[in-house]
């Protein structure tokens, strides 16, 4: 589609690709590393980096490039304009208050889930999450719920391109096994995951729909497996999550800006 659109700016795409190449595992990189991470030539990567430095979104220390706090303006503008706290936060907060578990909402972004809101638990867990956090979809309850509702061609595309990385001995890394699991998840209407992203982490997630039955996002409860057994988590948390999902769906109809943003993802 983009190749046929005369209005599509390849230069802008390259600049955004460079920005997105910086992450937790690569917070600072040399030019050669940026070029490798983005599949851009060193000359193109250098021009993108120099432009981003001039605009204030990237800085450099010696031969290393790194993001500046100025990039936060993009995320904060979306959060402010979409009123996520007003539309979603109160429902997640209610789930957290009734269960003591952390509660989150995320959307599918490429091969990852992307957190839009997160209400943390007071208990310590090894994997911290927040707005903007990304985790591989195949190892999370929210990710699997959303993957389970993808149209067949999009699921095929995901399984073809995704790296099903192993995080624990229980992480599902076989495309065939994952596909079978997703069929079961779609039939059940929820997903519970134990020790797939990290040992001792248990979670349950349900989808968030729009009025036409499209899955917009997923919400979850997550806690330590030492605190509650997986079957007990499912029994006690699923009714609360389904209620919160319905409330969020109803609230989204009152906030067309956020609803439209989720529909475009």
Residues above pLDDT 70, as percent of the chain: 87
- CA–CA gap between residue 4 and residue 43 (Å, rounded): 26
Q: What does the pLDDT average to over 192-198?
A: 96
Question: Per CATH, the architecture of 74-263 is what?
Answer: 2-Layer Sandwich (3.30)
Residue 62 — φ and ψ, nearest 5°? 65, -125
| pLDDT band at 1; cut points 50, 70, 90 | very low
DSSP state of 88: I
- CA–CA gap between residue 129 and residue 127 (Å, rounded): 7
Q: Following CA atoms 65, 69, 71, 74 in sequence, which dihedral angle do they give, to the nearest 10 degrees?
A: 170
- CA–CA gap between residue 207 and residue 50 (Å, rounded): 42
Domain boundaries, the chain: 2-67, 74-263
pTM equals 0.75
pLDDT value at residue 252: 79
Average pLDDT value over all residues in the chain: 88
| pLDDT band at 76; cut points 50, 70, 90 | low
Alpha helix locations (H) across the chain? Answer: 10-21, 31-38, 42-55, 72-82, 84, 90-99, 141-148, 152-161, 175-188, 230-252, 256-263
Q: Reply yes or no on domain 2-67 having CATH 1.10.10.10.
A: yes
24-62 pLDDT, tens per residue?
788 999 999 999 999 999 999 999 999 999 999 999 999
């Amino acid at each position: 589609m983009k190749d046929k659109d005369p209005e599509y700016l390849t230069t802008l795409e390259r600049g955004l690709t460079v920005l997105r190449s910086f992450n937790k595992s690569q917070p600072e990189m040399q030019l050669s590393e940026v070029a490798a991470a983005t599949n851009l030539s060193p000359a193109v990567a250098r021009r993108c980096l120099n432009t981003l430095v001039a605009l204030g979104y990237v800085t450099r220390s010696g031969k290393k490039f790194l993001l500046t706090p100025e990039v936060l303006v993009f995320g904060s503008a979306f959060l402010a304009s979409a009123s996520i706290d007003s539309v979603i936060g109160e429902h997640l907060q209610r789930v957290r208050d009734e269960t003591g578990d952390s509660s989150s909402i995320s959307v599918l972004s490429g091969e990852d889930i992307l957190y839009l809101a997160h209400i943390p638990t007071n208990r310590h867990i090894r994997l911290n999450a927040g707005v903007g956090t990304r985790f591989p979809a195949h190892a999370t309850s929210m990710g699997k719920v959303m993957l389970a509702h993808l149209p067949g061609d999009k699921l095929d595309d995901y399984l073809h391109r995704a790296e099903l990385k192993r995080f624990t001995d229980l992480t599902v890394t076989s495309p065939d096994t994952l596909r079978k699991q997703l069929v079961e998840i779609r039939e059940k209407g929820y997903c519970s995951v134990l020790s797939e992203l990290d040992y001792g982490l248990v979670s349950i997630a349900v989808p968030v729909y729009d009025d036409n039955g499209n899955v917009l996002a997923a919400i979850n409860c997550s806690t330590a497996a030492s605190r509650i057994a997986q079957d007990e988590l499912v029994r006690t948390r699923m009714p609360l999550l389904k209620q919160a999902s319905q409330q969020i769906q109803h609230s989204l109809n009152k906030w067309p800006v956020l609803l439209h943003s989720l529909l475009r993802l």
